[in-house]
A and B are shown apart, each in its own frame.
Chain A
Amino acid sequence: MGSSSSSMNDVPNGQQLMQETGFSAATILRLYERFDFLDKDKSGQLRPQDFGELRELALNPIGDRIIGSFFSPGQEAVDFTSFVRILAHFRPSETNRTQKEPANSSTRKLKFAFQLYDQDRDGKISRAELLQVLRAMLGMQVTEEQLQSIAERAIQEADLDKDDAISFDEFRKSLEKVNIDHKMSIRFLR
Chain B
Amino acid sequence: MPSMAGSHRPASFGKTLPERGLLLLMVLVFLEGSVLPLGAASSPDVRHQAKLDNSSSPHAGHNLTKKPFPVLSLDYHHIQTPFEISLWVLLASLMKLGFHLIPRLSSIVPESCLLIVVGLLVGGLIRLAGEKVPPVLDSRLFFLCLLPPIILDAGYFLPIRPFMENLGTILMFAVVGTLWNAFFIGGLLYAVCQIQPTNPSNLHQLELLPCLLFGSIISAVDPVAVLAVFEEIHINELLHILVFGESLLNDAVTVVLYHLFEEYAGVGTVTVMDGFLGIISFLVVAVGGVLVGAIYGILAAFTSRFTSHTRVIEPLFVFVYSYMAYLSAEMFHLSGIMALIACGAVMRPYVEANISHKSHTTIKYFLKMWSSVSETLIFIFLGVATVDGPHSWNWTFVTVTVILCLVARVIGVVGLTYVINKFRIVKLTTKDQFIIAYGGLRGAIAFSLGFLLKREHFPMREMFLTAIITVIFFTVFVQGMTIKPLVELLAVKKKQEAKRTINEEIHTQFLDHLLTGIEDICGHYGHHHWKDKLNRFNKKYVKKCLIAGERSKEPQLIAFYHKMEMKQAIELVESGGGVKLPSAVPSTVSMQNIQPKKPPPAKPVERALPQLPKGREEEIRKILRSNLQKTRQRLRSYNRHTLVADPYEDGFGDLLIKKQKMIELEKKIKDMSNYLTVPAAPPDSPTMCRARLASGRETDFKPAQQQKGNTVCPDPQAYSTKPVSDSVPTIQVDLASPQSPDSVNLMDEFRQAGQQQQQEEEQGLMMKPPSGQSGPNKPGEADGSREQQKLMRCLSDPGPSADEDEDEPFLP
Chain A residue contacts of B498, Cβ below 8 A: 177
Instruction: Check B518 for interface membership: any CB of A closer than 8 A.
Output: yes
Is there a chain A Cβ closer than 8 Å to B42's Cβ? no
B714 in the interface (beta carbon within 8 A): no
Q: Which of A129-158 contact B (CB under 8 A)?
A: 130-131, 133-134, 137-138, 141-146, 148-150, 152-154, 157-158
Interface size on B, residues (CB 8 A): 62
Please state if A183 and B511 are interface contacts (CB–CB under 8 Å): yes
> Taking the complex as formed, is A113 at the interface, i.e. its CB lies under 8 A from any CB of chain B?
yes
A127 in the interface, Cβ–Cβ < 8 Å? yes
Cα separation A63 to B521 with both chains bound (whole Å) = 10
B517 near A34 with CB under 8 A, answer: no
| Chain B residues in 8 Å Cβ range of A102 | none
Question: Across the interface, do A127 and B521 meet the contact criterion of CB distance under 8 Å?
Answer: no
Contact bitstring A113-131, B, C-beta under 8 A = 1, else 0? 1001100000000111011
| B71 touches A (CB below 8 Å) | no
Residue of B nearest to A173 (CB): B503
Chain B: which residue is nearest A89 at the CB level? B518
Contact with A along B643-682 (1 / 0, CB 8 A): 0000000000000000010001000000000000000000
* A77 within 8 Å of B (CB atoms): no
Residues A184 and B513 in contact in the complex (CB < 8 Å), given A144-B810, A174-B503, A175-B504 = no
Q: Is A18 an interface residue (CB 8 A)?
A: no
B85 interface hit (Cβ, 8 Å): no
Contacts of A179 in B (CB 8 A): 426
Interface SS majority for chain B: helix
Point out the residues of chain B lying under 8 angstroms from A184, CB to CB: 511, 514-515
Residues from chain A with Cβ under 8 Å of B514 in the complex: 62, 66, 113, 116, 184
Q: Is B494 an interface residue (CB 8 A)?
A: no
Distance to closest chain A CB from B598 (angstroms): 28
> A14 contacts the other chain (Cβ, under 8 Å)?
no
CB of A165, distance to nearest CB on chain B (Å):
9
For the complex, is A8 an interface residue (Cβ under 8 Å from B)? no
Q: Chain A binding site: helix, strand, loop or mixed by DSSP?
A: helix
A54 within 8 A of B: yes
Q: Which residues of A contact B561 (CB under 8 A)?
A: 146, 149-150, 153
Determine the chain A residues whose CB is within 8 A of the CB of B772 once the complex forms: 145, 148-149, 152-153
Cα distance A153–B660 in the bound complex, in angstroms = 10
Residues of chain B within 8 A (CB-CB) of A145 are 770, 772-774, 777, 785, 788
User: Interface with A: B381-389, B405-413, B484-492, B550-558, which one?
Assistant: B550-558
Q: Which residue of B lies closest to A37 (CB)?
A: B523
Q: Interface digits, B518-531 against A, CB 8 Å rule (1 contact, 0 not)?
A: 11111110111100
**Cα distance, A54 to B514, chains bound together (Å):** 15
Q: Report Cα–Cα, A32/B131, bound state, in Å.
A: 81
Q: How far is the CB of A129 from chain B (nearest CB, A)?
A: 10
Q: Can you name 4 extra interface pairs (CB under 8 A) apart from A87-B521, A141-B554, A143-B781? A: A34-B521, A57-B517, A145-B785, A175-B507
Q: 8 shortest A-B CB distances, which residue pairs? A: A149-B772, A174-B503, A66-B517, A188-B524, A148-B771, A56-B520, A148-B772, A182-B426
Q: Which residues from chain A sit less than 8 Å from chain B, CB to CB?
A: 31, 34, 37-38, 51, 54, 56-57, 59-63, 66, 87, 90, 92, 95, 113, 116-117, 126-128, 130-131, 133-134, 137-138, 141-146, 148-150, 152-154, 157-158, 164, 166, 171, 174-175, 177-179, 181-189
Interface residue ranges, B against A (CB under 8 Å): 165, 423, 425-427, 496, 498, 500-504, 506-511, 513-524, 526-529, 536, 553-555, 557-558, 561, 564, 660, 664, 770-775, 777, 779, 781, 785, 788-789, 803, 806-807, 809-811
